[in-house]
Amino acid sequence: MSPELARLVRFYETLEPGSLATALPSVYADNAGFMDPFNSVVGREAIRAVFAHMFRSLESPRFEVIDTWQTGDTAVIRWTFDFRFRGRPGDVTVEGMSRVVFDREGRVREHVDYWDASSQFYTRLPFVGWIMRLLMRLVAGRN
């Protein structure tokens, strides 16, 4: 594993509110882009705001890196994300992958998360969840 990928993995697996301000600059470039099913932002401060919102909105969020692949400046990270919705019982685990591109200094300049928000997130929300489950049943292939 390259030093820049190892640094990124360590950042995610030890991520906590207090580490955002100090660790983020060593991992993400000033003008880095970040996109996931809910966000599309540019700039390290905007990325910091996404993570800060995550910590305010969820209880005990934690990433675990399962596997990594890297070719040149591009890496793919397979991960799980565990959390609880604030004020709601039950743990949630989301499985996903990230594609990251590193700059010449070894910092992330592009980060795109891929995961299924409909089955892994929306179906667990009050009210919206039963609608999503109904829609998924209606469009599912039948034998």
Which CATH code for domain 3-115?
3.10.450.50
Element (H, E) at 99: strand 92-102
Model pLDDT for residues 24-78, shown as the tens digit of each residue: 999 999 999 999 988 999 999 999 999 999 999 899 999 999 999 999 999 999 9
Tokens of 84: 């609880």
pTM (predicted TM-score):
0.80
Q: Where are the domains of the chain?
A: 3-115
Neighbours of 14 (CB within 10 A): 11
Element (H, E) at 20: helix 20-27
